[in-house]
Chains A and B, each alone.
Chain A
Amino acid sequence: MELSSKTEESFRIVSVNDTRIDAAVAIEFKDAMRTQTEDGPSVVILDLSKVQFIDSSGLGAIVASMKNLGQDRKLALAGLTPTVDKVFRLTRMDSVFSLFDTLDGAVEGLRS
Chain B
Amino acid sequence: MIVTHFLPKFQVSVQSGQLAVRSALEKLLTQLEPLHLDVEEAGTIELVLAEALNNVVEHGYPPSSEGGAIDISCSHKRDGLHFEICDQGLPMPSGETPIGSKVDLNVPMQDMPEGGFGWFLIKDLAKDIDYARQGNSNHLRLRLNVRSA
**Other-chain contact of B22, A24, A86, A91 (Cβ < 8 Å):** A24
Q: Are B121 and A56 in contact (CB under 8 A)?
A: yes
Q: Is A22 close to B, CB under 8 A?
A: yes
- Asked if A59 is at the interface (CB within 8 A of a chain B CB), the reply is yes
In contact, A63 and B113 (Cβ under 8 angstroms): yes
Q: Is B43 an interface residue (CB 8 A)?
A: yes
Q: A24-B19, A57-B54, A93-B105 are in contact. Are A67 and B112 (CB under 8 A)?
A: yes
Residues of A within 8 A of B (CB): 20, 22-24, 53, 55-57, 59-61, 63-64, 66-67, 71, 82-83, 86-87, 90-93, 95-96
A-B contact pairs, 20 of them (CB 8 A): A23-B21, A24-B18, A24-B21, A55-B51, A55-B54, A55-B118, A57-B54, A59-B117, A60-B117, A61-B114, A67-B110, A82-B40, A86-B40, A86-B44, A87-B47, A90-B120, A90-B124, A91-B117, A91-B121, A96-B112
